[in-house]
């Protein structure tokens, strides 16, 4: 006989039905919460709109134009959903979202990251927001991508293929660290020696990333039309001894136009120069041994070089003795085989009216006697064991790198240079390197606060600046305050955008916008490395093209300094059919630079000190909303006073010239006055000429 079924009372059935209904409602609510929360409505805070479902952020100005668009939190995995945390943290004028995994069974509301977007109170006509990601996982690298479309972008870093604006630039995602663009095999795709966490848009937008972010950046990677900012410690050169979670924080500011936002942002966030470099270096040419003699330089050549300069009646600020004059790399002396009487040579040069500088760097090679001394006293950057030097490879061998974070190392380095200066009679030094790619991947330094390899350049430049205003360096990062020249990276002897003549103006404009007004242009004609442009410290056979040398010289005459190495008299006028005497033209270009340009450079250097403005300015400085002014990469301004339009193409005797708004005096055409904005088509410019226009309204 079968057992009877369990009896369920009516009351129990009603209870079960009620529980079922509650469970169903709970399930529906849970489903809605989990699946629809990520589709919550657009979030509005002041000028910003954020769409949680697509991660799109917009900034809309007072005329309702979208001036900024970005995609926030691009690498967030599925299933991650946004939870509003604005009320939880009682933030005003901000949007707060926790990104949470609410579906994975093993994770109970696992927080991945928190995103906060805060609207700052406006100052004058500058409006700013901050975007901040706080990660709760070591392997989560927050990344935001900014749209580059419908605008022109400027800033960032110096590049091998320097463009102005950056529209056609494409740099893949990588640590945002400065590199030696000449020795890098992938030099087209790396960041260069002058670098700041700062970009500008023609829509009047500026982007600044905080210095404490382990920053990785791509620009228009695979022509995606995005500037992507990523924060990541894992598998990167950024040290993370305290095992911090990666964080990303940046500020977006906007104003009425690109000039307005740049002026206000620079004044608030960047240091201004504390003085003006040596004015004789501004006025008269530097004569370097490098491009002409490379590493074969010796005492006889230096003395002959000086005599030739004087014989051709050309002025000078100094003669610079470049690479391979010491007994070894890291020795503070002159090689007596190549320089039998270096002190006597320098005395002779000074009697002839030359100051004398020499080339130096932060490396000490293994064969140098100072290598052992540095080990004994702990002067070098060390490996992970913290007991032996971390050997580094550079373009002249292998050796140790000075620990610029250690006060004893710094003083030892300065003492040696000062002794060398007094022993031989040197006036100053040209300093090379400092980029992050010469820093070992795994290292120990004295300062526990050192974690970003870009900081090496900062401290190195600060260290050598103690030697005075005749100093020149080639790297810049957060060193805008130093009253020294920042040299353009070695240029190649070509007309092209691949580190040739066409990059001279974009390089000067980029350095100026990044806050380095005291630009030392590279040597006139480039470095004569050879046809392939590959760095070669022994190539002596290739002179730059004659016409290239002439056009390069004409352009350089209107920049803050002039620098020769390949000499004008190395070219034969008799073999040319252009009717130009290069030596006579050199003399005239030097005269123009000394008598007409230098007073302007010194005048606008005062503005650099007081306001932080660049000396060499883009055309949009005077016409910030004109499309042609925004995109012009072949003209520049000296302050607000003079527009310079050189010939940058081979065999050209004319060019199109854009004049921004204002009234301009045409110096090549009988001082006629031209009203801008206006294009001058096929404007004739002979080989021995350069077009300049003086701003009639400049006071």
- Round to whole Å and give the CA distance between 673 and 515: 33
5 CB burial (10 A radius; 0-12, 13-18, 19+): exposed
- Round to whole Å and give the CA distance between 221 and 239: 26
Task: Classify the C-alpha dihedral 590-595-598-600 as positive or negative.
Answer: negative
The neighbouring-strand residues paired with 16 are none
> How many CB atoms are closer than 10 A to CB 391?
16
- Round to whole Å and give the CA distance between 513 and 205: 14
- Round to whole Å and give the CA distance between 165 and 151: 10
Q: Are 248 and 437 in contact (CB under 8 A)?
A: no
- Round to whole Å and give the CA distance between 629 and 621: 8
Following DSSP, what letter does each residue of 292-341 receive, concatenated?
HHGGG--HHHHHHHHHHHHHTT---SEEEE-SS-SSSTT--S--TTT-TT
Following DSSP, what letter does each residue of 173-241 receive, concatenated?
EEE-----TTT-TTGGGS--SBEEEEEEETTTEEEEE-TTS-EEEEESGGG-SEEEEEE--TTSSS--T
Catalytic residue ranges: 432, 435, 498
CA 652 to chain centre: 31
Per-residue b/e over 237-268, b at no fewer than 16 CB within 10 Å? bbbeeeeebbbbbbbbbbbebbbbbbbbbbee
How do strand 286-288 and strand 654-666 relate by DSSP bridges? unpaired
3-state secondary structure (DSSP) of residue 385: coil
Which DSSP category does 681 fall into?
Answer: E
Longest Cα pair distance anywhere in the chain, in angstroms?
131
Q: Are 660 and 633 in contact (CB under 8 A)?
A: no
637: CB partners within 8 A, 6+ apart:
616, 617, 618, 619, 621, 622, 643, 644
N-terminal to C-terminal alpha carbon distance within the chain: 116
Task: Classify the C-alpha dihedral 366-372-378-382 as positive or negative.
Answer: positive
How do strand 48-51 and strand 56-60 relate by DSSP bridges? antiparallel
CA 682 to chain centre: 34
- Whether residue 79 is preceded by a cis peptide bond, meaning omega within 30 degrees of 0, is yes
Kindly report the backbone phi and psi dihedral angles of residue 669, in degrees, each rounded to the nearest multiple of 5, phi listed first. -125, 65
Q: How many residues does the chain have?
A: 699
* Half-sphere exposure in the Cβ direction for 95 (13 Å, CA): 25
Q: Are 122 and 97 in contact (CB under 8 A)?
A: no
- Round to whole Å and give the CA distance between 653 and 646: 10
């Amino acid at each position: 006989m079968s057992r009877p079924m369990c009896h369920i009372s009516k009351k129990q059935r009603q209870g079960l039905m009620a529980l079922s209904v509650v469970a169903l409602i709970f399930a529906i609510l849970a489903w809605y919460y989990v699946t629809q929360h990520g589709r919550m409505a657009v979030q509005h805070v002041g000028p910003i709109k954020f769409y949680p479902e697509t991660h799109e952020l917009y900034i809309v100005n007072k005329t309702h134009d979208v001036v900024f668009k970005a995609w926030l939190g691009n690498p967030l995995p599925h299933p991650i959903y946004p939870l509003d945390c604005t009320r939880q943290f009682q933030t005003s004028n901000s949007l707060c979202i926790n990104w949470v995994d609410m579906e994975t069974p093993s994770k109970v509301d696992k927080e991945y990251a928190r995103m906060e977007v805060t609207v700052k109170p406006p100052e004058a006509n500058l409006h700013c927001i901050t975007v901040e990601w706080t990660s709760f996982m070591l392997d989560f690298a927050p990344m935001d991508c900014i749209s580059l479309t419908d605008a022109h972008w400027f800033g960032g870093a110096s590049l091998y293929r320097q463009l102005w604006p950056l529209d056609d630039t494409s740099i893949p995602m990588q640590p945002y660290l400065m590199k030696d663009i000449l020795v890098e095999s992938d030099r087209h795709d790396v960041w260069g020696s002058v670098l700041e966490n700062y970009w500008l848009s023609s829509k009047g937008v500026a982007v600044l990333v905080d210095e404490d972010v382990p920053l990785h950046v791509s620009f228009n990677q695979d022509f995606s039309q995005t500037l992507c900012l990523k924060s990541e410690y894992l598998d990167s050169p950024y040290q993370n001894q305290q095992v911090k979670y990666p964080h990303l924080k940046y500020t977006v500011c906007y104003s009425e136009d690109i000039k307005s936002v740049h002026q206000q942002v620079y004044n608030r966030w960047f240091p201004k120069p504390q003085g003006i470099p040596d004015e004789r270096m501004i006025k008269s040419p530097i004569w370097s041994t490098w491009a002409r003699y490379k590493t074969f330089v010796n005492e006889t050549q230096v003395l002959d070089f000086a005599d030739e300069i004087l014989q051709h009646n050309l002025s000078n600020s100094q003669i610079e003795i470049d690479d391979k004059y010491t007994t070894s790399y890291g020795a503070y002396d002159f090689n007596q085989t190549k320089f039998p009487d270096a002190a006597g040579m320098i005395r002779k040069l000074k009697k002839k009216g030359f100051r004398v500088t020499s080339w130096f760097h932060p490396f000490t090679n293994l064969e140098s006697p100072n290598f052992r001394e540095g080990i004994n006293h702990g002067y070098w950057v060390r490996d992970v064991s913290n007991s032996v030097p971390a050997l580094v490879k550079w373009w002249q061998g292998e050796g140790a790198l000075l620990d610029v974070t250690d006060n004893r190392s710094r003083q030892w380095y300065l003492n040696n240079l000062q002794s060398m200066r007094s022993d031989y009679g040197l006036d100053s030094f040209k300093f090379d390197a400092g980029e992050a790619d010469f820093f070992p991947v795994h290292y120990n330094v004295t300062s526990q606060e050192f974690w970003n390899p870009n900081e090496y350049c900062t401290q190195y430049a600060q260290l050598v600046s103690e030697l005075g205003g005749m100093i020149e360096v080639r790297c810049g990062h957060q060193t805008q305050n130093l009253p020294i020249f920042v040299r353009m990276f070695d240029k190649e002897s070509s007309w092209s955008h691949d580190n040739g003549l066409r990059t001279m103006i974009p390089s000067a404009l980029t350095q100026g916008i990044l806050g380095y007004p005291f630009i030392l242009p590279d040597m006139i004609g480039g470095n004569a490395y050879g046809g392939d442009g590959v760095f070669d410290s022994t190539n002596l056979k290739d002179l730059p093209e004659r016409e290239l040398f002439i056009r390069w010289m004409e352009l350089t005459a209107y920049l803050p300094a002039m620098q020769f190495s390949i000499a004008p008299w190395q070219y034969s006028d008799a073999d040319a059919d252009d009717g130009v005497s290069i030596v006579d033209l050199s003399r005239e270009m030097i005269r123009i630079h000394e008598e007409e340009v230098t007073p302007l450079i010194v005048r606008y250097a005062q503005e650099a000190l007081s306001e932080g403005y660049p000396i060499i300015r883009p055309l949009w400085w005077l016409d910030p909303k004109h499309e042609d002014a925004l995109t012009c990469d072949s003209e520049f301004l000296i302050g607000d006073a003079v527009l310079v339009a050189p010939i940058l193409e081979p065999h050209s005797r004319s060019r199109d010239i854009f004049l921004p708004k204002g009234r301009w005096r045409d110096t090549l055409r009988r001082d006629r006055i031209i009203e801008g904005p206006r294009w001058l088509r096929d404007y004739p410019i002979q080989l021995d000429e350069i077009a300049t226009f003086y701003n009639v309204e400049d006071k």
